[in-house]
Amino acid sequence: MLVGYSLLILVSCGITEIDPPEIQSVVKFLNNSDSDINVVLTNWPLSGNGNTVSLNISAKQEMGNNAFVFENDQVDEYFSIIEDSENMKIELIVSNQLVREWAPPVGSFGKEINNPFNKDSWRFESLSPPFNNDIVGKIVFTITDEDIGD
């Protein structure tokens, strides 16, 4: 009887040590233009090693999957990650031609300025049910025909 009781104590102690999954969001770039584009993220802090990430995004599609952990506001948490990144830039390429380059500063510049370093240019979309039980949403930056120059 004591052996069974000891086993119960051992098992119940182990259960309390399991950490809940971290709550995450993903970063997405939505190509709302009529052109296929390439988004090049140089010195991208969410790449894991600060390297360049290249996203080939078809017209009217979205891409990106860099998950990050957040505690409060997803957009603010994302910007707290990128605001200290040095030499970071985002290039927009259409038909192998550079059509736009964005670089810091990071901040809130109003919704009328579409720039991936502008907090006001991002929106949060919740995912219900959560993906893999821990990704609860995505933050999305939308690229338009105006960004391309069309």
Q: Does residue 40 register a pLDDT over 90?
A: yes
pLDDT digit string, tens, across residues 46-87: 877 768 999 999 999 999 877 777 777 888 988 988 888 778
Are residues 45 and 85 in contact, defined by beta-carbon separation less than 8 angstroms? yes
- The closest alpha carbon to 25, from 129, 116, 140, 137, belongs to 137
Residues 26 and 145: their CA atoms lie apart, in Å, by 24
pLDDT digit string, tens, across residues 86-119: 789 999 999 999 999 999 999 999 999 999 999 9
Q: Tell me the pTM.
A: 0.80
CATH number of 22-148: 2.60.130
